[in-house]
Amino acid sequence: MDLKDRPIGFFDSGVGGLSVLKQAVKILPHEDFVYYGDSLNAPYGIRTSDKVKELTFNAVKILINKNIKALVVACNTATSVSIEDLRKQYAKSMPIIGIEPALKPAVKNKKNGKIIIMATPVTLSESKFNNLMKKYNYNDNIVPMPCPGLVELIESGIVEGPEVEGYLKERYSCLIETEIASIVLGCTHYPFVKKALIKVVGEMGKDPFIIDGSSGTVNQLKRQLLKYDMIKKPGDEKGTVRIFNSLDTKKIIDLSYKLLSIK
């Protein structure tokens, strides 16, 4: 198989990375994609760094065995913990693209108020995130918000309704009197509850700029494919998407395709 015709591999701790894959399908419609979610071991955000690294490398080996030409680690936690080691091992073979909280566009927004960064506890504790904070934390306006339990809700298929809204109301209850400029969705699962989030903060009388790292990650993927002349030649046919998951159940695969098709 010609290198350009090989699929692009996407990995996440579960179904969250599908939010990034959705952007990739839009921006690179002629490419083929293979997605692997490790829902059996989700969430990564409550595990030790060593365990996250072990699980990430195991998943990447599965994708490499599917003859991929590039790898997107569409998981903030896995990127924080493992991206440097992945590049040391595989960068000579293929482009390795990670994702991180979209703090830069949130800071550039220039709107008055706090910048809330929703992420898993592990992502917020890793040095990669702390270095990102130091880079942009020119004042006290950046507020990390750990969200334990939110990934589990999304993995179970609950992305809207009373349970998700109740969770978000509890998280934001301490910010009722706080002006919020932006909300950064620092986990690839979180865009799937964006509708519920908009409703909850709207009921609090707030209208923040809500952003995630999907577009930036996919644009970087496209740049790397062009750089190494690996991009698939446009044709009449759109690319394909194959989804695999460590749970290997009809329920999780059906949920994955459903989330991929959500507007």
Q: Is 75 a catalytic residue?
A: yes
Residue recorded with tokens 């509850």: 193
**pLDDT of 126:** 82
Distance CA 84, CA 135 (A): 19
- Averaged pLDDT of the chain: 93
DSSP strands (E only) in the chain: 8-12, 33-37, 70-73, 96-97, 114-119, 142-146, 180-185, 209-212, 241-245
Q: Is 147 a catalytic residue?
A: no
Q: Is 13 annotated as a binding residue?
A: yes
**pLDDT of 106:** 87
Q: Is 77 annotated as a binding residue?
A: yes
Q: Is 123 annotated as a binding residue?
A: no
Residues in CB range of 171: below 8 A, 6 or more apart? 118, 145, 147
Does the pLDDT value for residue 41 go beyond 90? yes
For the stretch 214-250, what's the b/e string if a residue is b when 16 or more beta carbons lie within 10 angstroms of its beta carbon? bbbbbebbbebbeeeebbbeeeeeebebebbbbbeee
Q: How confident is the model at residue 233 (pLDDT cuts 50, 70, 90)?
A: confident
pTM: 0.92
| pLDDT tens-digit map of 77-95 | 999 999 999 999 999 999 9
Distance CA 52, CA 130 (A): 18
Instruction: Say which residue, 124 or 162, is predicted with more confidence.
Output: 162
Q: Is 50 annotated as a binding residue?
A: no
The residue from 75, 124, 159, 243 that is catalytic is: 75
The residue from 187, 221, 243, 252 that is catalytic is: 187
Spell out the domains of the chain, with CATH numbers in brackets: 3-99+214-261 (3.40.50.1860), 103-212 (3.40.50.1860)
Q: How confident is the model at residue 1 (pLDDT cuts 50, 70, 90)?
A: low
Instruction: Say which residue, 170 or 125, is predicted with more confidence.
Output: 170
